[in-house]
Structure 1
Amino acid sequence: MAPTLALLLFGLSALCTTVTSAKVCGRPPVPDGVDTSSLKRVFEVGEEVSLTCEQGYLSSTATSSRITCMAGGQWTESNLACAPKMCPIPRPLQPFAMGRTEAPFRSVLNYTCDDGYVLLGANESRCLHDGTWSHPPPLCKAVNCPLPKPPRDGRIVHDKAVMGTTTIYGQGWTYECNPPKAPSFERGSCKADGTTTEPPICREVSCSVPTNVRNGIITFAVMRQHGYKEKVKYACNEHYTLEGDAEIHCQNTGNWSSKPVCRAPCTVGIKRGRIFYNAKKIWIEDLKPNRVLHGEHVVFYCKNKAEKCGYPVASTCNDGNLPLPECFEEPGKIEYNLKAKSLPSEIRTCATSPTARPTSSASAS
């Protein structure tokens, strides 16, 4: 019995060896875009497969590419390449697509609207296999608000003409009260959530007796308390520069709007040298009077000793302060009187100027 069992086991082993000794090919490796729906898991030697591109891809060849399973278990090479079809990006959206004009198959466009706008249409569109989009771009429509209510003892002045019984997001208006009352706030608008600003309260408001400004005068005012929207006008003393609005008004808060400031003129603080001012190159002693108005520029001349040339550096008058450039060196009496032609303002101008340190000071209010 034992020899018969051994022979039977040997026979089964030989049978298994015979079945598995033949080489086969596994599923062929294919690039993206190739249609794999008809590919099997195992192919016999000599078996051929026709490769084609799936929907949404363009083939690099006019006909299908055929590959063959070889005896070594490998596949012959394929010259097929599949490129995705492209969908043209709508022109209005191209700035948001970093300048791209096309998107490949299966790309997705997601749409949103800014606050205060409602999206009409699909919020998503996909690039289809035929090079078209699944949905057209939607529209963003401004939110509608009901017309605002006027304040009691007052009215509304719209920024733009209003038609019908609604207004749109972002549109604004001004609240006005019957004199001498003032609204608790002056502006309203159609808000992003579709609601309008509640009307203000009209109440009597007065501003204190206006005060003068330093180095200036009140040119038109009665020295008394003033009501809402009443105005006062200022001017500066001679040679002082007015900065801000010359006219202020009594606000709905009971405070005056910001008063202007009178900025002082400057003196050019050198005794010897030449400057460039008011489009002219002048010696300092010829600047009569020695006065530069606030905000005006004065150019000084510095010397590049290594290159033996001169270069200009500008400084700005700022409320009575005209800083001298750090590179400026005022000449001595002998040099100025006897060797004026050697001064930085008179010698050859440098081809490039060194970077000068700032010469303007902080503004004083």
Structure 2
Amino acid sequence: MSLPSVCGRPAVSDGIDESSLKQVYEVGDQVTLTCEPGYIPSTAAPQHLACTPAGEWTESGLACSPRTCPIPKPLQSLVPGRTVVPFKTVLNYTCDDGYVMNGANESSCLSDGTWSHPPPLCKVVNCALPKPPRGGTFVMDKTTTAATTMYGQGWTYKCNPPNAPSFERGECMADGTATEPPICREVSCSIPEGIPNGFIAFAVMKTHGYKETVKYACNDHYVLDGPAAIECTNTGNWSAKPICRAPCSINIARGRILYNSRKIWIKDLKPNRVLHGEHVVFYCKNKVDKCGYQVASTCRDGTLALPECFQVPGKVEYTLRPGSLPSEITMCAGPPTAPSGTARPA
């Protein structure tokens, strides 16, 4: 059998220029390999391939690696551990809401290791100062003497008494426009209502106008949760009323507690009452280390949860051996390893 007299197109690795390669070569033909633009050769000397009588190509030691472009410094934090990217990499830029781009939104890593465009700048959007409502004005959150304001900055609308604005807040928006002014109109709020376990303090029982206030207070031993005063809003409704939170009783028959920085036997707590939000410390026993430890619980609107680890002492132990109770023995050096201090409802 005769040997092949031709060689096919040589197989080359990525980055080698294939534009001048033919599909078929005769024995003895030579091909000089070079790297495509944007790739760096592994050897300085030209690399030649020859078509052998066996129909195969001689070997080449040429490898082409892509050039790199330095990552722009503002972006290096987004790709930790990298400072360059390969040729043909494309960066797409966007700006956050409220910012406009100054420059190209795309840049490519070129064959010479440079970028086609520098990183753009994102400049904050500016709005013209807001228009005042008819029969009113506005107050900027930040005082300015400029004729414009920046994206995100806001202001409050005010109407001449007794009128109220249909909405109170405005801002410079992402599209560069300022909120249109509200309408000033008269509003009133109904006669205020009382609250459970509390009362209205120092108020005339009548309808109230915009921004007028009514104050509340709680009955004895109840704690006010929320603002003491409510306000007639621009919608003609009152702002949210406060709540009067109930006190708690400590529902243990025997034992000692820590309350207001004082250790107290429960029988000496008179009256048996703690206020909403106040803390009570109970004593539990670490049976392994034979020491006592503290677990706190908080009064929450009439409910004081007892720690799961707390055990009411028996009458004999409480009467004859009070020194053996968890509150009286040596305190543990640290908290117990088991999660035994969870509070349970009283």
Query: Could you say whether these structures have the same fold, taking a TM-score greater than 0.5 normalized by the shorter chain as the test?
Result: yes
* Secondary structure of 1:233's aligned partner: strand
Q: How far apart are 1:217 and its partner, in Å?
A: 4.1
For residues 185 and 266 of structure 1, what CA distance do their matches in structure 2 show?
42
2:337 is aligned to 352
* Secondary structure of 2:75's aligned partner: helix
2:273 is aligned to 291
2:159 is aligned to 177
Q: Say if 1:164 and 1:354 are closer, same or farther in 2 by CA, change over 3 A.
A: closer
Q: Deviations over 1:279-304 (max 9, x none)?
A: 56654345455333322333434456
Q: How is 1:1-365 mapped onto 2 (pairs within 5 angstroms)?
A: 21-22=3-4, 24-43=6-25, 49-65=31-47, 69=51, 72-75=54-57, 77-97=59-79, 100-163=82-145, 165-278=147-260, 283-285=265-267, 287-302=269-284, 312-340=294-322, 342-344=324-326, 346=329, 348=332, 351-354=336-339, 359=344
For residues 46 and 318 of structure 2, what CA distance do their matches in structure 1 show?
93
Q: How far apart are 1:126 and its partner, in Å?
A: 1.0
Question: Residue 4 of structure 2 contacts residue 54 of structure 2 at CA under 8 Å; is this kept in 1?
Answer: no
Q: Say if 1:305 and 1:205 are closer, same or farther in 2 by CA, change over 3 A.
A: same
For residues 231 and 144 of structure 2, what CA distance do their matches in structure 1 show?
29
* Secondary structure of 1:336's aligned partner: helix
Q: Say if 1:270 and 1:100 are closer, same or farther in 2 by CA, change over 3 A.
A: farther
Q: Say if 1:54 and 1:281 are closer, same or farther in 2 by CA, change over 3 A.
A: farther
Q: Deviations over 1:83-107 (max 9, x none)?
A: 3333222233344446754322211
* Secondary structure of 2:310's aligned partner: coil
TM-score (norm 1): 0.77
Question: Residue 317 of structure 1 contacts residue 360 of structure 1 at CA under 8 Å; is this kept in 2?
Answer: no
For residues 248 and 328 of structure 1, what CA distance do their matches in structure 2 show?
42
Q: Say if 1:38 and 1:221 are closer, same or farther in 2 by CA, change over 3 A.
A: same
Q: How far apart are 1:179 and its partner, in Å?
A: 1.0
For residues 73 and 281 of structure 1, what CA distance do their matches in structure 2 show?
101
Question: Residue 247 of structure 2 contacts residue 275 of structure 2 at CA under 8 Å; is this kept in 1?
Answer: yes
Question: Residue 266 of structure 1 contacts residue 320 of structure 1 at CA under 8 Å; is this kept in 2?
Answer: yes
For residues 28 and 341 of structure 1, what CA distance do their matches in structure 2 show?
97
**Which deviates more, 107-116 or 344-353?**
344-353
Q: Which has the larger radius of gyration?
A: 1
Q: How far apart are 1:182 and its partner, in Å?
A: 1.1
Equivalenced residues, count: 343
**Which deviates more, 70-79 or 240-249?**
70-79
Q: How far apart are 1:52 and its partner, in Å?
A: 4.1
* Secondary structure of 2:237's aligned partner: coil
TM-score (norm 2): 0.81
**Which deviates more, 207-216 or 279-288?**
279-288
Q: How far apart are 1:201 and its partner, in Å?
A: 1.9
For residues 279 and 35 of structure 1, what CA distance do their matches in structure 2 show?
85
Larger helix share, 1 or 2: 1
**Which deviates more, 338-347 or 268-277?**
338-347
Q: Say if 1:336 and 1:194 are closer, same or farther in 2 by CA, change over 3 A.
A: same
Q: Say if 1:315 and 1:32 are closer, same or farther in 2 by CA, change over 3 A.
A: farther
* Secondary structure of 1:337's aligned partner: helix
Q: Say if 1:307 and 1:166 are closer, same or farther in 2 by CA, change over 3 A.
A: same
Question: Residue 302 of structure 1 contacts residue 310 of structure 1 at CA under 8 Å; is this kept in 2?
Answer: yes
Name the aligned partner's letter for residue 33 of structure 1: G
Name the aligned partner's letter for residue 126 of structure 1: S
Name the aligned partner's letter for residue 177 of structure 1: C
For residues 53 and 320 of structure 2, what CA distance do their matches in structure 1 show?
105
* Secondary structure of 1:174's aligned partner: strand
